[in-house]
Amino acid sequence: MDIPDLVRQELGDEEIRAGVTLGDEDAVCFTPTRTLVYRGDGLLSDEKVETYPCDFERLTISEGRRKTKFTMVYTDGKRDFGVPGSRADAVLEQLLEGNLRSSNAIDADESVTGAFRFSELTLVVTERRLLKHLGSVTWDNDFESYGFDAVTGLEFEKGSVATAIVLAVDDRRERIKAPSDQAPAVRKTLQEGLFAFHEVSSLADLNAKVAAEPDDEPDDEKAGLGLESGIDPLVSDDDADDTGVETVETATTESGAQTVAPSTDSDADGDIAALEQQVADLTAAIERQNERIEAQEETIQTLIEELRQGR
């Protein structure tokens, strides 16, 4: 991309780290601290450069039929600029990268590899982490960050409406749902980042490498009570057997008398299996309900957009 002379004059000592052409002579240039929007000579306006610092506190996006408007809120007010809709994703990635660097949320040499928006969810993938933001605004300081160095597993659960990204971080599972039409791009970007970071070439290799190491040390040895610790337990297994104490269950007969019977481990194991099956059934029902709700929300959003556009 050729750098217009007016932009070069505005740069000062800074260098352009990235740029996005907007068609004709217009372009957006990004420095480490600023976004420079260049507008070439036109029938109704002269050549000019507008400057937007990277340290905005909030970013919102308004999408029209042809143009997308970015509105940045600063401590002293808000400013906005528009770009063709086809260039919006590329501009968004660079805007977020500049903001994340200025706030030290990512490293100075860390690049954003993808930014995705799903209704009120925004995902940002960098070379070293995944960032998630929830809310009506596209971005502000209220976001979560998951470092690739702490990832202990990655799975994808494909549904009819959405695909669930199941990311395990320090063995804590984070479920993120992406619409089915955008899920492949999210998967590709996230996998490529994790594969490069952990130097693997497949999802199976990634999960094998990052899986938490099994803890083979017995619990009693962790507590310092190994067989050779020299400390005897207060009650041994033999002592417990000699007491003759046995767990019992009571049952009432038809005549009202109570009978006593020892409980068995097998009865407790039917009970556990039944409870596990109930939990699995409830989980599946909730997942199906969530998918229906998401489908309804997408339909509502589509209707709203069509009404706004006068359809």
Tell me the per-residue pLDDT of 134-177, one tens digit each, with 9 for 90 and over.
988 999 999 999 999 999 999 999 888 899 999 999 878 999 99
Q: Average pLDDT of 123-135?
A: 96
**pLDDT the model gives residue 97:** 97
Query: Left, alpha or beta for 258 (phi > 0: left; psi -120 to 50: alpha)?
Result: beta
Give the CATH architecture of domain 1-104: Roll (2.30)
Spans of all domains in the chain: 1-104, 111-212
State the sign of the Cα–Cα–Cα–Cα dihedral 197, 198, 204, 205: positive
Does position 205 have pLDDT exceeding 60, yes or no?
yes
- As a whole number, mean pLDDT of residues 180-196 equals 95
What pLDDT score was predicted for residue 1?
Answer: 66
Domains 1-104 and 111-212 share a fold: yes
Q: Hey, what's the torsion of the CAs at 196, 198, 202, 208, to 10 degrees?
A: -170
Q: What CATH architecture applies to the domain 111-212?
A: Roll (2.30)
Report the pLDDT value the prediction gives residue 133, as an integer from 0 to 100. 95
Q: What is the pLDDT of residue 260?
A: 45
Nearest to 153 by CA among 106, 119, 200: 200
Dihedral sign for Cα 146, 139, 57, 12, please.
Answer: positive
**pTM over 0.85, yes/no:** no
Distances (CA, A) of 287 to 120, 139, 282, 290, 293: 19, 28, 9, 5, 10
CA 13 to chain centre: 36
